[in-house]
Amino acid sequence: MSVTVAQAIQQVRALIDEPTPQFWTNQQIQSYMNQGCADFARRTRTLRNEQQVPVVANTQNYTIPGNLLSVYRVEFVPTSTGQVFIYPLEFLGYNEMDQAWGVYQTFPAAWPQQYTLWGNPPTLSIRLFPVPDQAGVLNVFGYRQSVDTVGPNDTMDVLTGYEEAIY
């Protein structure tokens, strides 16, 4: 069940025994709940998301969308062949990539086979190896940050069934 901001504020007010704003304003409670949603998303990594990153031929490094907290799967889909091939990429840590690329990090090939990550959100970057020599798309699967609510009819961005965690 999705909970709106207005419903969530009503629940919080029932918990703190303040049916009408006296000590805390509705905006303060909403701000605390937005912080709770963000904290819940960071700690539990439950808000799954798939985003596409366009791949340019002969380009090795890409910035992951800023709302992703972490990445757990990457696929390469070439767009120049006219056929639908999906190549799952193997994750290797940056040091482990030395076993794959040796001394030639920019080796070109038809499609990448491994990827590594560098940096931290919101500027997390992905490095492909071998460097794809054709255009395509990276399907990036990860855990996203929650989206802050603005209005009273907005839905709280927390996993269904865990709304009480943000109250």
State the pLDDT at residue 1. 55
Which pTM does this prediction carry?
Answer: 0.86
Residues 156, 146: Cα–Cα separation, whole Å: 9
Amino acid at 33: M
Mean of the per-residue pLDDT values of the chain: 93
Nearest to 126 by CA among 115, 137, 139: 115
At 69-106, the pLDDT tens digits run 999 999 999 997 777 899 999 999 999 999 999 888 88
H/E stretch holding 37 reads: helix 26-44
**C-beta separation of 57 from 134 below 8 A:** yes
pLDDT single digits (tens) 107-151: 889 899 999 999 998 899 999 999 999 999 999 999 999 999 999
